[in-house]
Amino acid sequence: MLAPLLLNVAAQTQPLPIAWGFATSALQIEGSWNVDGKGLNIWDVFFSDPARANDPNHFVAIDHYKHMKSDIAYLGQLGATMYRFSVSWARILPDCTGKVNEQGIQFYSDMIDEIIKNGAVPVLTLFHWDTPQACQAKYGSWLSEQITDDFANFADVVFSRLGDRLEYILTINEPGAECGWGFANNFWPPAVSQPNGKFVCQHWSNLAHGKVVQMARKKYANRNFKFGMPLIIPYAEPATSSSADVLAAERLMRENAVWNWGPLVDGDYPAFLKNEPTYGANLPQYTQAHKDIMKNTMDFVAVNYYSASWAANAPGKPFNYTTEVSKPALGPTSGTSWQTVYAPGLRGLLRFLHKEYPSLDLIVTECGTSGPGEQNLSPQQQVNDQFRLDFFKNHLQALSDAVLLDKLPVKGFLAWSLFDNFEWRTYDQRFGVIGIDFNSTDRTRRVKNSASYISSFFKSAKSPIALPKASTTTTTPNNGIPSSTPAAKSAAVNHFSLFSAIVAAAFALN
């Protein structure tokens, strides 16, 4: 017992050679859905339906579009060295293709500069489920191969206008979620329920990724772009120590990866999928040209980790495994019904992924939790988010062990999320380390104790990723005050002072 104890102490005290920070997405935080030249996206149309008039929606969200500079300043105060955000396709290309909305480009250019000025490397997600309505109306968006060319065109616009300050690019976030809920189940927009819709949508998502990467490697060869596709993958713990259950657990994790990463690494779906009786017959076919486009277009493994389950061998079931095991759950359920909290699963999943993709670096592009019942507390009470603080205490120790003990090539960790936000059909799931008072007109922010813990944990971390230079062009933010004016600087100083007082108070509570 003595040796493991000493190793764990070392893992807690040695500086982590890792970039760290937080993640968000445009639709979940921006608001301002119909201003400054932005076009409609499928969520705008979905919630404009009178039948959904009383449903929670994203039209205001946390009003980030109007508070971008002060929101991004939290990165500097917490000491984050990496920040993931997404751009709204319809804010940049309102009609899916064609004329560029310069106000949208300016907003994201200003945001990237603010991220860099606050000491963080920007990680850009091209697409986080907010398809322009024009793409949907013209040809059915992700059910048509046309989307692959239009997505590459959109990426070209982004790279030509913003790419001088970017290195890490995430193409499409979790295609399986968007494709399942939006194209096989009408719970999400575009509210299509089509047989095989999930498979077709994922099929073109993979090709769209490949076209973006091939375009960038040819047209922007002088830039050091690195591409990944973030997937949510649960960890599977074998129900017993038998080799059959160990292999069943691996099959569960592999299944969640290879729908998308298989084609991006090898150019096609693996035999593992094609030979599975339940799904194999439903897989669309790629041409040889498609395969050549997709092959070797994943530069790093981008994984979103939230949950874990038991797995047991089950011949006759899809992929010959089952999660229906007569054992207590691996951990507590969070404020999100599908999340079983299990910190050792993060280390176990990273080990598995390194074994599957040994030549690629790993980045945890999302990891976080919603506190049970947190939405029922007052904004002041939500600051003491002990459930989330314990979550990160345990998961960051698992991350540390994976990096320092297992020597895994993990280059970054991004907590989901910087802010409470719109969780796609609800505000009841609070994932933020910064709380939002959704009943206040200005969406008042409050820093939770978990933010202070994360900042303290990574205080000595040494990021292996160089910080790019901000743009030298003076820009005009939405409030009309140029970023270099005394008024803007004064506002930033006042914000910093307030934030410092909050963080100091949080530390005093611990």
Cα separation of 385 and 451, whole Å?
Answer: 10
Bridge partners of 447, per DSSP, are 434
Token output for 170: 């995430």
- 77: Cβ–Cβ under 8 A, 6 or more apart, which residues? 496, 499, 500, 503
Catalytic residue list contains 174: yes
- Mapping DSSP onto H, E and C, the string for 325-378 reads CCCCCCCCECCCCCCECCCHHHHHHHHHHHHHCCCCEEEEEEECCCCCCHHHCC
CA–CA separation, 456 vs 54, rounded Å? 41
3-class DSSP state of 39:
coil
Rounded Cα–Cα distance for residues 81 and 109 (Å):
18
- Of 255, 208, 235, nearest to 364 by C-alpha is 235
Tokens read off for 393? 């205490």
Joined together, the tokens standing for residue 395 give: 């998961």
Residues 69 and 114 sit within 8 Å (Cβ to Cβ)? yes
Angle, alpha carbons 408-409-413 (nearest 5°) = 100
Give the single-character DSSP code of 419: B
Per DSSP, the three-state class of 63 is coil
User: What residues are paired with 333 via a beta bridge?
Assistant: 340
Q: Are 211 and 152 in contact (CB under 8 A)?
A: yes
Q: Is 324 a catalytic residue?
A: no
492 three-class SS: helix
Distance CA(429)–CA(321), nearest Å, equals: 30
Closest CA relative to residue 293, chosen from 435, 149, 108, 178: 149
Preceding amide of 190 cis, omega within 30: yes
The amino acid sitting at 87 is V
Distances (CA, A) of 357 to 62, 361, 375: 38, 8, 39
Q: Number of C-alpha atoms within 13 angstroms, CB side, residue 484? A: 5
Say which residue the tokens 């062009």 belong to.
473
- Active-site position among 30, 178, 255, 366: 366
| Bridge partners for 310 per DSSP | 237
Question: Is residue 118 within 8 Å of 108, Cβ to Cβ?
Answer: no
Q: Are the C-beta atoms of residues 163 and 109 closer than 8 Å to each other?
A: no
From the candidates 30, 114, 174, 178, give the one annotated as an active-site residue.
174
| Cβ-Cβ contacts under 8 Å for 266 (sequence gap 6 or more) | 295
Catalytic amino acids? Answer: 174, 366
